[in-house]
Structure 1
Amino acid sequence: MFERFTQGARDVVSGAVGYADRGGEPRITEEHLLMALLDARGTKASTALASLGVTRWRERLTGALDDARRRGGLSQADTEALAGLGIDLDEVVGRIEEEHGPGALAERRAQVRAVRRPLTPGAKETLRIALRTAAAHRDRHLGDEHLLLALVERGGVAADALAACGVSYEAVERVLHGGEPGDGLLSAV
């Protein structure tokens, strides 16, 4: 599969591995993919993110990802579902942190460097969606723009963080491809 990745997409995956390493996490998550996308420069995804104003919201995005990690990786949809059952997640997290310390729900990992880090099911699904997106646009290679589209399409914590900055699938698609595939504002990038 990785032979179809552009250099930009490979850099995102490598960057995600770096984020997992620095966090002492044994698996690569979609949040790691998002952080690596934010680091990209001179690619279609980085240009789309800049055009949507995301680069000025980097701190907000990282804060949203940290908050989700603090909540045990639960997305906004998960939080709302629990609220519908009468469970206040902030209260639960607060009580757990009182008893066990700050960040108690965040997965704690030994600082072990793995030679090969597996992907979480969410990160695997993101790659599957990215491949499907590339095929739908009749692109021969999978670029970082397909990874960005997959992250916002899939939902979950990374999509929630992007949505908090006003980034939706439709907005990314519009910036990348305009009204029709090939019509995009970024076709020359």
Structure 2
Amino acid sequence: MFERFTAEARAVVIGAQAEARTLGHTKIGTEHVLLALLGPDVGEAAYVLRGAGLTVEDARARVTALTKGSALGPDDAEALRAIGIDLDAVLARVEQNFGVQAADLEAARQPEPRKWWQLPKGGHIPFSPRAKKVLELSLREAVALRSRELRPEHILLGLLREGEGLAARVMVDAGLNLKVVREDVLAALA
């Protein structure tokens, strides 16, 4: 699959790994792909996102806030959210009913970031299932657009098409309209 990736698209994948490592995460999620798409030398994908009003600083701050919101990992909190459980609301309710000591909310909201030596060996951090899906969808987007190569714009289209990961939440929370962003990416590719 990676043989079709342009140098810029490969840089996005490498950048996503670097973002996960910097944030001390053990898996590459959609949020890391989004942060990498906002990086330098990514091409039209970064211009579209920045033009829609999303900066790498804002996105990183939102990712950090969302991933430090509970003692569980971002995938766990996201899975609970998908079935209608707001972990922050549950923790607040526990505090309200049983006192601050019942749930050490401060420790839960600010887990100790992992150090580089605590991350998986071998230099590679694995992709989460959602991030893998984004890469699969980006390839489908490239094929549907009859492109011989996979560019960062196709990765952004895959991210938008997946639409349920932490990256989508960051974009929506930042005020981006995902349908408009998709149209802008398609226009940039045309």
TM class by smaller structure: 0.7 to 0.9
1:63 maps to which residue? 61
- 2:15 is the counterpart of 1:6: no
Q: Which residue identity is paired with 1:43?
A: G
Give the C-alpha shift of residue 7 in structure 1. 1.3
Does the C-alpha gap of structure 1 residues 97 and 64 become closer, same or farther in structure 2, counting only changes over 3 Å?
A: farther
Quick one: structure 1 residues 33 and 48, their matched pair in 2 at CA, closer, same or farther if it must change by over 3 Å?
same
Is 1:156 aligned to 2:165, yes or no? yes
* SS state at 1:39 partner: coil
Q: CA deviation at 1:137?
A: 1.4
TM-score, with length taken from structure 2? 0.76
Matches within 5 A, 1:77-88: 78=81, 81-82=84-85, 88=89
Confirm whether residue 35 of structure 1 aligns to residue 35 of structure 2.
Answer: yes
* CA–CA distance in structure 2, aligned partners of residues 28 and 42 of structure 1: 18
Alignment-mate amino acid for residue 116 of structure 2: Q
1:126 aligns with 2:134: yes
Return the alpha-carbon distance in structure 1 between the equivalents of residues 38 and 166 of structure 2: 15
What is the Cα-based RMSD across aligned positions, in Å?
Answer: 3.0
Where in structure 1 are there 5+ consecutive unaligned residues?
178-183
Is the 8 Å Cα contact of residues 8 and 40 (structure 1) preserved in structure 2?
no
Deviation at residue 40 of structure 1 after TM alignment: 3.1
Q: Secondary structure at the match of 2:138?
A: helix
Offset of residue 160 of structure 1: 0.6
Count of residues in Structure 1 that have an aligned counterpart in Structure 2: 175
CA offsets 1:40-77 (integer angstroms, 9 cap, x no match): 3351201211221223xx44322221122123313498
Distance in 2, Cα, partners of 1:22 & 1:174: 31
What are the superposed Cα offsets for residues 127-146 of structure 1, whole Å, 9 maximum, x if unpaired?
11111111121111111111
Deviation at 1:168, TM superposition (A): 3.5
The superposition leaves residues 109-152 of structure 1 with CA deviations (integer Å, 9 ceiling, x where unpaired) of 35325322221111111111111111121111111111112222
Q: TM-score, normalised by structure 1?
A: 0.77
